[in-house]
Homo-oligomer: A and B are copies of this chain.
Amino acid sequence: MSDEEIIDKSVEKSQESRVETNHVSDSLTLLLYLGLLIVTLLTVWLFKHRRLRYIHETGLAVIYGLLVGAIIRYGSQPSEFSVRRFNATGSLPGSDALPPEKVLVTMLEIGDNNQSRVYEYDYKRRLYGNEVRSPILDEKATFNPEVFFNIILPPIIFCAGYSMKRKHFFRNIGAILTLAFIGTTISCVVVGSLVYGITRLSTGIGSSILFNECLLFGALISATDPVTVLAIFNDLNVDVDLYALVFGESVLNDAVAIVLSQSIEKYGALAASAGGIQGEAILKAVLSFLGVFFGALGIGSAMGCLTALITKYTRVRDHPLLESSLFILMSYSTFLAAEAARSTGIVAVLFCGICQAHYTYNNLSRESKESTKNFFELLNFLAENFTFLYIGVSTFTYSSHLWDPVFIFAAFVAILLGRALNVYPLCLLLNLGRRNRIGANKMHMLMFSGLRGAIAFALAIRNTSSSVRKMMLSTTLLIVIATVLLCGSLTTQMLQWLRIRVGVEEEAPKRNYEDIQSGSEAEIAMASAANRGSNRAWFARSWHGLDNRLLKPLLTHARPLLTETCPRCCLPLAQLLTTDEQLTQASVQRDLIADNLDDAPPEDEASTSSTGPAAGGNFNDFGGLANPAGPGQQNVVVRADLGGSNV
């Protein structure tokens, strides 16, 4: 072996040991988070076991995160990287003056053999201000923010759609859409203007913020995340309509806020350029908003319906493992397809989740129903708690925070006012056309449910390239922590104080055959009552008709048959699209089971105990859904079953 080779080997060895050291420290970081999750989880159990309801698991996660973040920050020395600086003068290789994507460094050893080694480097980011001068410190315990958007958020948002209580959601669809679209826009504009106005009065970093940046902050901070409130609503069986309003608004306003902030980022600077406000750019921004939003809605629903078609027309449900895998793959593909189409994956998975629950779920085998429900519940639980832990930890460990007291004060005032100007006027307006009015106490509760969480954080941390963006992230962190801890721990008291009905029994299981027959009419009536103006009532009614007469018979095994609802001319096609399962089922029983399946399963309340289909024997043994049982019958059977095994 030559001298050169020996030196080569020794450098390689040192490099390998450096890689190994990095790997060990990466493992330790991840282990730290898992350990924290485990501790959070055990504490949550202890609280539940002792029936303490002071604090929700996400609040706990934030607190543990803050503690550990502080320990990491103040208890450990920052480690330095070895850095080498190069200057590049002259025109740059690309015509557009971009930094090169890769850099090759040839190292020449001083010595007799004039040996050289070539190393490859990947572009990471541009450095600003202080970062350029000071040595680059290790950002301990922080991840690439894209991890949130591509891995952590999709299951949370999908699960929100998949576990939605669709009946109550659709019953209040008018109010929810109003609050989500108009409300979020109001909140965005109010927060943006207020923050802009207040920061004008100061001289700090905040004073250099532009109006379009304020609007961006308004958009990202308008994404509410009342996960703690909803968990308590669930535990206490709060009034279903209030639940639907809070849940529906928060889910849809996440989607609106994400798309809104994208549009503002793209066209905001243009719209506010040259001092004034440019009408054309605003129009462009609105069009881009609509394009991205409905693009994502289209992709999400299309993928959901495609999954429904595959699960209906192939008998893949004979192999539940294949079926569940297909379901999961199709759902994540939705996210990627939307991202690849330059739309918003997060919004697409939300609508995909709703479609999967509304159509595909009914086609799945019993095993797949169980396993997909469990799978997404688990992912959701882990992802959510991880996010809040990370919020806590990164409050201390993130290295380039920028705290501007005036901006923080402005932000807190603005979100309070923004929320109030969103909830109260819109609810009063909605009450003009609603049969069951939104009472003042429910309005207060809606106002109170404006917690900020995962989405606001993810939007803020995605881009921290300028100092204004850094200030936004720091402020968002504070707002998230404050609202989660404060509102999260006061929900029960607030419910008592506002005298909101708790312990409300779900009326659905008590509905009998007659109710179901008249059910659709009643629901349409309700939906139209909820929607002021003939236009939207018509929309709700025609959607219900389309869903019941075309989509459900096409995408699921539900009655009525396509052959009964379609016009004469399409009869051959309708016959082709009607499966044997649909034909062989007796009409009355069929309606009962369809309703049962449609209402009960992937919903939130079944999160801990799987009652419905799980207890009722294996449908599949007798060929799909050929032996349906009503919900009442099932209960009796289960009791007999347990009695039998006692003997």
Residues of A whose CB lies within 8 Å of any CB of B are: 7, 9, 11-12, 14-15, 18, 20, 23-24, 27-28, 30-31, 34-35, 37-38, 41-42, 44-46, 48-49, 81-94, 96-110, 117-127, 131-132, 136, 146, 269, 310, 314-316, 318-322, 324-326, 328-330, 332-333, 336-337, 339-340, 342, 345, 367, 370-371, 374-375, 377-378, 381-382, 465, 607-610, 614-618, 620-622, 627-629, 633-634, 636-638, 640-642, 644-647
With A101-B82, A123-B121, A329-B38 known to touch, is A645 a contact of B616 (CB < 8 Å)? yes
* Contact partner, A324, options B325, B378, B628, Cβ 8 Å: B378
User: Considering the chains assembled together, what is the distance between the CA atoms of A122 and B124 in angstroms?
Assistant: 6
List 9 contacting pairs A-B, 8 Å CB cutoff, sorted by A: A41-B326, A45-B319, A81-B102, A82-B101, A102-B121, A102-B124, A119-B125, A122-B122, A637-B641
With A99-B15, A124-B121 known to touch, is A371 a contact of B382 (CB < 8 Å)? no
With A44-B322, A319-B48, A333-B38 known to touch, is A84 a contact of B103 (CB < 8 Å)? yes
CB-based contact B106/A103 at 8 Å: no
Chain B residues in 8 Å Cβ range of A320: 608-609
Write the chain B residue with the least CB distance to A91: B110
Chain B residues in 8 Å Cβ range of A332: 34
* Contact partner, A110, options B89, B108, B126, B610, Cβ 8 Å: B89
User: Considering the chains assembled together, what is the distance between the CA atoms of A120 and B88 in angstroms?
Assistant: 13
* Contact partner, A339, options B24, B83, B614, B641, Cβ 8 Å: B24
CB-based contact B109/A120 at 8 Å: no
CB-based contact B618/A645 at 8 Å: no
With A107-B92, A322-B41, A609-B618 known to touch, is A98 a contact of B15 (CB < 8 Å)? yes
Write the chain B residue with the least CB distance to A639: B617
In terms of DSSP, what is the predominant structure of the interface of chain A? Answer: helix
Write the chain B residue with the least CB distance to A104: B85
With A18-B98, A378-B371 known to touch, is A82 a contact of B86 (CB < 8 Å)? no
Write the chain B residue with the least CB distance to A273: B1
CB-based contact B96/A14 at 8 Å: yes
User: Considering the chains assembled together, what is the distance between the CA atoms of A104 and B374 in angstroms?
Assistant: 47
User: Considering the chains assembled together, what is the distance between the CA atoms of A645 and B640 in angstroms?
Assistant: 12
User: Considering the chains assembled together, what is the distance between the CA atoms of A93 and B135 in angstroms?
Assistant: 13
- 6 more A-B residue pairs beyond the given contacts A91-B110, A374-B375, with a C-beta to C-beta distance below 8 A: A28-B340, A84-B100, A120-B123, A325-B381, A618-B642, A636-B644
User: Considering the chains assembled together, what is the distance between the CA atoms of A117 and B127 in angstroms?
Assistant: 8
Chain B residues in 8 Å Cβ range of A86: 86, 88, 103-106
Chain B residues in 8 Å Cβ range of A11: 96-98
User: Considering the chains assembled together, what is the distance between the CA atoms of A330 and B37 in angstroms?
Assistant: 10
CB-based contact B609/A638 at 8 Å: no
Chain B residues in 8 Å Cβ range of A100: 81-84, 105
Q: Considering residues A93, A98, A132, which has the most beta carbons from chain B within 10 angstroms of its beta carbon?
A: A98
User: Considering the chains assembled together, what is the distance between the CA atoms of A101 and B41 in angstroms?
Assistant: 37
CB-based contact B627/A637 at 8 Å: no
